[in-house]
Amino acid sequence: MEPQRGGLEARLREGTVVLLDGATGTELERRGIPTALPLWSASALLGHTDVLERIHADYAAAGAEVITANTFRTQRRTLARGGLAERAAELTRTAVRLARAGAHAGGSRVFVVGSAPPLEDCYRPDLVPGAGDLAREHALHARNLADAGVDAILVEAMNSEREAVAATRAARAEGLAALASFICWNGATLLSGEPLESAARAVRDAGACAVLVNCLPPSNVPACLPALSRAGLPFGAYANLGKPDDASGFERSEDCPPEEFAGHAARWVAAGARIVGGCCGTTPAHIRAIAERLQRPLASAR
C-alpha cells in the first residue's frame, strides 16, 4: 500500500470509532523473541523480521484500522546504547516496511503510523532532556519516519507536557498528522505531575489532531476521558495489561482476558472515545474482541 498522508486525519473527522492495534514489544516476547533493554522491541528488527511482520498482519486481520510501526525504540539516542546509532534511519525504514506489509492483509483502509515515544524512559519524567535536545532529536526521528513513508505519527507514552509538545511540533513540521498520547497512572495527571487537561490542550495548540492516554491500567481510563474531551479533538485510549519491568521493559498480565478488555473499550466509547486499542500486554485476540464488541449496540457497553 502507498502512504496515505492526511488520510488518517480525515478518517478521524468522520466521527466513527477508529480501532488501533495492540502491543508489539510484549507480543514479540509472548512469541519467544527476546526483548531485553535497552533495545526492547527494536531487537526484532535485527533478526526476527518475519515474526514482526506476522504480528502486524495478525492485528490487521483482527480488525485494527491503524497499525503502529515498530519504531518505539529506533530513535538514535536509544540505538546508541546498543552501538547502533548510525542505523536509526535504516531500522526505522525497515520497521515501517514491515508494518506496511502486515497492514496489507487488512486492505486499503488500514493506516500505518510511526511511534514517537519519549527520548528517555517512559516512566521517568525526571529524565526528560532539555528543550534543545528535544527539538533536535524528535525532529530527526520525525524526519526518519516521514522518509520511511508513514501515514501519521503517534506521539505516545508521553510523561511530560513539554516533550509531547516537542514531538508533536516535529511531526507537524514534516507535514504529518500527529496523534498525541500520555501516560496517567493516578487520575487525570501525567507522571510529571502536570494536569492531563493542560497537556491535551498544549498538544492541540501544537497541531495534534487527536489526544489519547496509553500504557495505563484500564481502570484509570475513565478518570482521563473528561480531561481529554475538553481539548475539543477526537480522543481515546489504549490501556495496558501488566506493569513495567526493569529487565524486559514490561511484564505482561493475564488478569484481563480479551472479552473483558473489550468491555472496558466499549465503555470508553460510550463515554465519547473515538479511538481505542491496546498497549503493552494486549494481543491480537484483545483487538479482535474489541472489533467484535464494536459491532454490537452501544447499550451493551453498560
SS3 assignment, position 290: helix
pLDDT tens per residue across span 4-55: 777 999 999 999 999 999 999 999 999 999 998 899 999 999 999 999 999 9
Instruction: Answer yes or no: are the C-beta atoms of 103 and 1 closer than 8 Å.
Output: yes
Q: Alpha helices, DSSP H only, in the chain?
A: 7-13, 25-30, 49-62, 76-80, 88-103, 131-148, 161-173, 196-205, 221-229, 258-270, 284-293
Q: Write down the pLDDT at residue 120.
A: 97
pLDDT tens per residue across span 51-98: 999 999 999 999 999 999 999 999 999 999 999 999 999 999 999 999
pLDDT band at 300 (very low <50, low <70, confident <90, very high): very low
Give 257's contacts (C-beta < 8 A, 6+ positions apart). Answer: none
Instruction: Answer yes or no: are the C-beta atoms of 168 and 138 closer than 8 Å.
Output: no
**C-alpha span between 96 and 89 (Å, rounded):** 11
Q: Write down the pLDDT at residue 5.
A: 76
Q: Write down the pLDDT at residue 63.
A: 96
Please state the rounded mean pLDDT for residues 136-149: 98
pLDDT tens per residue across span 95-128: 999 999 999 876 668 999 999 999 999 999 999 9
What residue ranges do the domains of the chain occupy? 7-301
Instruction: Write the DSSP symbol of residue 214.
Output: E
Report the chain's C-alpha Rg in angstroms. 17
- Please check the confidence at residue 186 and state whether its pLDDT lies above 50: yes
pLDDT band at 299 (very low <50, low <70, confident <90, very high): very low
Cell 498538544, located at residue: 203
pLDDT tens per residue across span 232-281: 999 999 999 976 545 444 455 557 999 999 999 999 999 999 999 999 99
Angle at which helix 284-293 crosses helix 258-270, to 10 degrees, equals 50
Q: Write down the pLDDT at residue 41.
A: 95
**C-alpha span between 153 and 174 (Å, rounded):** 10
> Phi and psi dihedrals of 46, rounded to 5?
-100, -5
Instruction: Write the DSSP symbol of residue 20.
Output: B
The one-letter amino acid at 93: R
pTM reported for the whole predicted model: 0.94
**Prior bond of 38 cis (ω within 30°):** yes
Give 169's contacts (C-beta < 8 A, 6+ positions apart). Answer: 135, 138, 206, 207
Return mean pLDDT, the chain: 93
Please state the rounded mean pLDDT for residues 179-183: 98
Q: Write down the pLDDT at residue 150.
A: 98
What's the CATH architecture for 7-301?
Answer: Alpha-Beta Barrel (3.20)
More confident: 3 or 225:
225
Cell reading at 88: 536509526
Strands laid side by side in the 177-182 sheet: 18-19, 275-278, 235-239, 210-214, 177-182, 152-158, 111-116, 66-69
